[in-house]
Amino acid sequence: MSILFSPLTVRDVTTRNRLWVAPMCQYSAVDGVPQEWHHTHLAQFASGGAGLVVAEATAVSPEGRISPEDVGIWNDEQRRAWEPITAAVRSRGAVAGVQLAHAGRKASTWSPFAGGSGSVPASDGGWEALAPSALAYEGYATPRALDTAGIDAVVADFAAAAARSIDAGFQVLEIHAAHGYLLHEFLSPLSNERTDEYGGSLENRARLLLRVVGAVRDAAPRAPLFVRFSATDWADGGLDVDETATVARWAADAGADLFDISSGGLVAHQRITPAPGYQVGLADHVRREAGVPVNAVGLIYDAAQAEQILQDGEADAIMAGREWLRDPHFALRAAGELGEEISYWPKQYVRARRRLA
């Protein structure tokens, strides 16, 4: 059997394969409540053979949304709306995961479908963004720097969202500390100019993340806990992959189990040259230096590419995003490409399992 189609167990949860669906924002919620679109969107990937399906960045508080159309899990109405969605994913043989998020200074922005750019004003349903320091992302409104009470509230919000997520039927929790959102903003010296215990040294800049990891672990003691990192800011003076590996070790000690390694998103002047698998080396570095399991993500298009990453020991699992959007049955197709006989083709689709010449 290929590594890609071998199971992976994290704590008490086993995914049937290592080809996973990355969290992808849909900007289609109403007051943070997921809609029928989210149900169909996520369930189709489970039907398509995914091992793990991770729901998009899900705000832990109203002010933690990227846009007014983001999903959330800060109240019980949202929890109830997630329940049939997680049940649909699980009933199709996949593991249901959720990415818990706070957008920080990149909150209260127009969704891609809204026609605006930059920050949403209060008159149009926007709100004041929060951040480690009063430094705006380019083109956005200046955020308010969190005080100590505000930081404590963020930790409490993540813990409450974690407990509510388990009640909603999610089996895996991921903390979003990447792509320029709040926890990443604290980690990077480009967005964190604090002079208190949450700024300055790497240990101080990582303090909020580690508090969140500990609080989420306490709220969900048995659930597999992932952390998504931007391993580098792709900008001079920013967070780099060596620092990320150090923080990953600390986060593992605090209760995290696996690390989802992405990159970028913190500053508009980042310099990235995307190419197939361009972030795999970052995942490999964190895996080796921190001694922790990781998944690779980013422009991973086909089965052979994904399998080779695992064969080379650069990652323990693969997340993909756009390829699942192009083909919601990516895993079924990938199994055929690798010559794997899997047992979880939907019986309704089994007639298409083999293509006749």
Please confirm, yes or no, whether 349 is among the known catalytic residues: no
Q: How far is CA 101 from CA 132, 177, 180, 257, 310, in A?
A: 15, 8, 11, 18, 28
Catalytic residue among 140, 181, 301, 344: 181
Q: At 140, which amino acid appears?
A: Y
Contact by Cβ (8 Å): 92, 47: yes
Q: Would you say 132 and 194 are in contact if contact means Cβ atoms under 8 Å apart?
A: yes
Catalytically active residues are 181
